Amino acid sequence: MFRLAHISDIHLGPLPAPAYRDLISKRITGYINWRRNRSSNLHEGVIDNIVADLKAASPSHIAVTGDLINLALDGEVTLSRLWLESLGNPDDVSVVPGNHDAYVPKALDKACAAWGPWMHGDGQVEPARRGTFPYMRVRDDVALIGVSSARATAPFMASGFFGDKQAERLGAMLDEARANKLCRVIMIHHPPVRGAAPAHKRLLGIGLFQKVIRQHGAELVLHGHTHLPTTHRIEGLERDVPVVGVAAAGQAPNGSKPAAQHNLLEIERSNQGWRIELTRRGITNDNSAVHTIATETLSR
């Protein structure tokens, strides 16, 4: 059995003090939002509890679906690299970037440079960069495919993008993994489901992404972005594909969104293909201890 842990939207804090020149951009609105809202709702101690519980489950691999940082300040990128090193060896942890990791132009390039070992496909020669997505890693009988929806956007926007170049490469990877009889798990930050996020936060290219899944198939899609523990389904080549979101790993109790959680997905072969069991573990508003929130059979 392959046990895959899934976390997202870490939003590491505390936020480094920005220089004045850092705020002459979209960052000024994000900084104000952090001071008014996020600084009180996102806590490093909560992340520590979630990661400790996740590691206690001894997962085979960890998937991180974006938004490790907040305003993509240089100090945040440095801190996030250290956090990834504490989370696990690059061979055992796979990362895709989120919109906060690409908050302003060129921010994504810095994130890719810092997190490259955790976003590097098997046999990939060139370093991780925005043009090397998607990447594919095979661990046991599971193909982990990392798609990037991250891009810099205008103030008050948090949309993602999935275009033709990634679609072509994703289709080829899905076909290769299917030919090798692997369970195909796609990681992306923005939910590739219509209505899952408000218009200003949606993924541009949902139709194209779903077309790829209809034509090539997949067994599972993991995402973040919404800070919600959700399960949707989209049409696949042979059967519907579960699309699983997760609450933000840094969300403190008593906020407007569910308190911090992580997902554990147990994957094993079955007569019909793959059996996938989902367990959501996290904290509640009245208890900081991590415990099981819900369980669900995604496929059997």
Write the CATH number for 128.
3.60.21.10
CA distance 266 to 157: 35
Which structural domain range is residue 7 located in? 2-299
Whether the CB-CB separation of 134 and 146 falls below 8 Å is answered with: yes
Mean per-residue pLDDT, 225-248: 97
pLDDT at 156: 82
Count the domains in the chain.
Answer: 1
Residue 15 pLDDT greater than 60, yes or no: no
| Helix, strand, coil content of the chain in percent (nearest 5) | 30, 25, 40
Band (180; pLDDT cuts 50, 70, 90): very high
Instruction: State the amino acid at position 209 in one-letter form.
Output: F
CA 189 to chain centroid? 5
pTM score of the predicted model: 0.92
Whether the CB-CB separation of 119 and 96 falls below 8 Å is answered with: yes
Whether the CB-CB separation of 258 and 247 falls below 8 Å is answered with: yes
Pairing mode of beta strands 142-146, 183-187: parallel
Whether the CB-CB separation of 157 and 200 falls below 8 Å is answered with: yes
Residue 31 pLDDT greater than 90, yes or no: no
